[in-house]
């Protein structure tokens, strides 16, 4: 019912906006979502020094002021998280299992990740505007030439206050990682399919965060043949066409766990013993060249998706990631009880992320039944 009210409010608010196609019935959405989303705003320019590079420098302050109230901001993140957990049983089971073992009920997220189409204003900036308006700071750019992708990550404001004992999106605010497909580098056929949906719904880009919070596509449902066509050239493109702005994954901050699982190798072993399939591309454990960032992830869940031509197929959905950030060399002498996030390796790594992207690829999904 809430989704119906939201969608009809949009139709009244602006003529010509495309019908947002609900992937499933979302949980109750607060009515404040309707009026509080801000217009699209482009992120600040990227410096030449950061192009194609992932940085491990620390940040002491971000200097960004919030234009969005924190309760509202966290409420939107909460709806994104609810959509994600309702659609993906593996992340939900993993989170419940880790909480049951950990000594502390608080479980922190390292980062949230989203995928976009880099064309017609539907790219990174369409979703980044929501986080920038809350006070997030644009950090570094990463490029993936073979996959024809680029990404930016955003650091949360230090001024935010976590809910006492809060977990997930109610805990310390996570980093945000947003990638985009460089559509103009794709084949003409793939470009035509993507443009068909983005150009017939040009205003959907303004409501990227709302689309994610509702679990709804900002364009019409695609044909099954178009999904398959895109998947042959780019599984990332096919995933985005069918999943839109849905959370691609959340990431558990492993070193913040209180139990013996606060080392990623032990966590990986524990999960595999419990029967969870982990992404094996490049090895289960992905390690940055400096050795300071360790990552792994599960294989994505699959969902039943009914295409606009009436065909129903199983398609890849989302997964959960794990990240351990080690203490930087210059802080090795800091007592363990005094170690904070600012003492640890920050940022992202192209090599790690390139392999994590594979979590939604068919080759990895086939291992779930293998």
Q: What is the mean pLDDT of the chain?
A: 85
167: Cβ contacts below 8 Å, ≥ 6 apart = 99, 105, 106, 107, 108
Cα-based distances in Å from 80 to 26, 43, 168: 10, 22, 11
| pTM, to two decimals | 0.84
| pLDDT of res. 191 | 98
* pLDDT tens for each residue of the chain, 370 residues long: 444 333 343 343 343 333 343 443 344 444 444 444 443 344 444 433 333 333 333 443 444 567 779 999 999 999 999 999 999 999 999 999 999 998 666 899 999 999 999 999 999 999 999 999 999 999 999 999 999 999 999 999 986 666 667 889 999 999 999 999 999 999 999 999 999 999 999 999 999 999 999 999 999 999 999 999 999 999 999 999 999 999 999 999 999 999 999 999 999 999 999 999 999 999 999 999 999 999 999 999 999 999 999 999 999 999 999 999 999 999 999 999 999 999 999 999 999 999 999 999 999 998 665 4
Question: Residue 106 has what pLDDT?
Answer: 81
Q: So what's the pLDDT on residue 65?
A: 64
pLDDT of residue 56: 36
Place of tokens 């966290």: 74
User: What pLDDT is attached to residue 265?
Assistant: 98
The predicted structure's pLDDT at residue 68: 79
Distance in angstroms (rounded) separating the CA atoms of residues 312 and 332: 54
d(CA 362, CA 357): 12
The answer to whether the Cα torsion of 34, 317, 291, 259 is positive or negative is positive
Distance CA 261, CA 272 (A): 13
Q: Which burial class, exposed, middle or buried, applies to 16 when counting CB atoms under 10 A from its CB (0-12, 13-18, 19+)?
A: exposed
**Rounded to an integer, what distance in angstroms lies between the CA atom of residue 22 and that of residue 211?**
9
């Amino acid at each position: 019912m809430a989704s119906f009210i939201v969608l009809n409010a949009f139709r009244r608010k602006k003529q010509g906006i495309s019908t947002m196609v609900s992937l499933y019935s979302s949980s109750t959405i607060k009515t404040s979502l309707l009026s509080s989303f801000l217009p699209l705003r482009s992120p600040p320019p990227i410096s030449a020094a950061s192009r194609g590079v992932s940085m491990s420098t620390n940040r002491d302050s971000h200097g960004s002021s919030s234009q969005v109230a924190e309760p509202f901001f966290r409420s939107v993140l909460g709806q994104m998280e609810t959509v994600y957990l309702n659609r993906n049983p593996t992340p939900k089971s993993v989170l419940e299992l880790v909480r049951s073992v950990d000594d502390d009920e608080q479980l922190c997220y390292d980062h949230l990740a989203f995928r976009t189409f880099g064309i017609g204003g539907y790219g990174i900036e369409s979703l980044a505007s929501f986080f920038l308006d809350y006070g997030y700071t644009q950090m570094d750019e990463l490029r993936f030439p073979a996959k024809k992708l680029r990404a930016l990550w955003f650091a949360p404001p230090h001024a935010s206050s976590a809910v006492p004992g809060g977990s997930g999106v109610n805990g310390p605010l996570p980093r945000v990682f947003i990638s985009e497909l460089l559509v103009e580098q794709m084949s003409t056929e793939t470009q035509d399919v993507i443009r068909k949906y983005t150009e017939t719904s040009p205003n959907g880009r303004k409501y990227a965060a709302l689309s994610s919070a509702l679990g709804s596509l900002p364009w019409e449902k695609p044909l099954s043949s178009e999904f398959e066509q895109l998947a042959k050239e780019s599984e990332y493109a096919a995933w985005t066409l069918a999943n839109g702005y849905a959370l691609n994954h959340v990431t558990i901050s492993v070193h913040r766990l209180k139990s013996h699982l606060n080392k990623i190798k032990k966590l990986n072993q524990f999960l595999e013993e419990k029967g969870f399939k982990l992404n094996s591309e490049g090895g289960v454990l992905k390690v940055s060249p400096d050795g300071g960032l360790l990552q792994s992830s599960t294989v994505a869940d699959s969902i039943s998706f009914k295409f606009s031509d009436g065909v129903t197929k199983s398609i890849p959905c989302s997964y959960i990631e794990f990240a351990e950030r080690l203490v930087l060399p210059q802080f090795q002498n800091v007592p363990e009880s005094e170690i904070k996030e600012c003492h640890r390796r920050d940022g992202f790594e192209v090599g790690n992320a390139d392999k994590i992207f594979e979590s939604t690829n068919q080759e990895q999904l086939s291992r779930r039944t293998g």
